[in-house]
Amino acid sequence: MKIDEKKLKEANLDKEKIKKMKDKVKKDYEGKSEDELMEELKKISKKIDNKDNILKKLKPLLNKKQQEKLDKITKELNK
């Protein structure tokens, strides 16, 4: 995913932190199936208190297709 500089600035997010997070996620989860990733997200999301705020900041950085995927994932996590 390409990082949009303008959207990062508007969301008040640090590009370097986003890049480090992106690299770590790629290293840890590359090659896993969608089902494996969903199970991992379910475990992780239970430990995050402010996930709604995080998603609010993240969503505008995504394109329409990515936003739709994020909505689908969020719906699944909230079951």
CB 13: neighbour CB atoms within 10 A? 15
CA distance 8 to 78: 27
39-56 pLDDT, tens per residue?
988 888 888 888 888 888
Q: pLDDT tens across 18-47, in order? A: 788 889 888 988 999 999 999 988 888 888
Helices (H), 14-63: 15-29, 34-45, 51-58
How far is Cα of residue 18 from the mean position of the Cα atoms in its chain?
Answer: 10
> Domain tally for the chain?
1
The domain in which residue 40 lies consists of: 5-77
